[in-house]
Amino acid sequence: MKMTVLEKKKGKLTLEIEGEDQTLLNTLRINSWKSGAKQVAYAVKHPYLSSPEIIIRADSPKKVLKDAAQLLINDVETFQKQFSRAMK
């Protein structure tokens, strides 16, 4: 995964995320809403020729994205614990 900042200004952050698809970006989009984003979206300009971009508008878009990623980590850890218990 490689991230490139396409736009960074007060209240808005746009990142290009190479090597990922809509699965990760949709999860980050949902978690960004939970983390206080005012607007959040992702775009895939061309499925084979471009990398997806995520656009976040918030008072602190960097913090929103960090918090969204932490929510994803927490969800995966909870899944791992529940799966381990279910498989015993």
Question: Tokens at residue 23, please?
Answer: 């699965």
Checking if the pLDDT of 88 tops 90, the result is no
Q: Name the superfamily (CATH) of residues 2-86.
A: RNA polymerase, RBP11-like subunit (3.30.1360.10)
Q: Residue 2: is its pLDDT beyond 90?
A: yes
SS3 63: helix
pLDDT tens sequence across 4-59: 999 999 999 999 999 998 899 999 999 999 999 999 999 998 888 889 999 999 99
CB 37 within 8 A of CB 27: no
Task: For CA atoms 64, 21, 3, 42, give the dihedral sign.
Answer: negative
Is residue 20 classed as helix, strand or coil in its secondary structure?
Answer: coil
pLDDT higher than 90, residue 86 = yes
15-44 CB burial, b ≥16 within 10 A, e <16: bbbeebeeebbebbbebbeebebeebebee
What is the rounded average pLDDT of the residues 62-72? 97
Q: Give the predicted TM-score (pTM) of the model.
A: 0.88
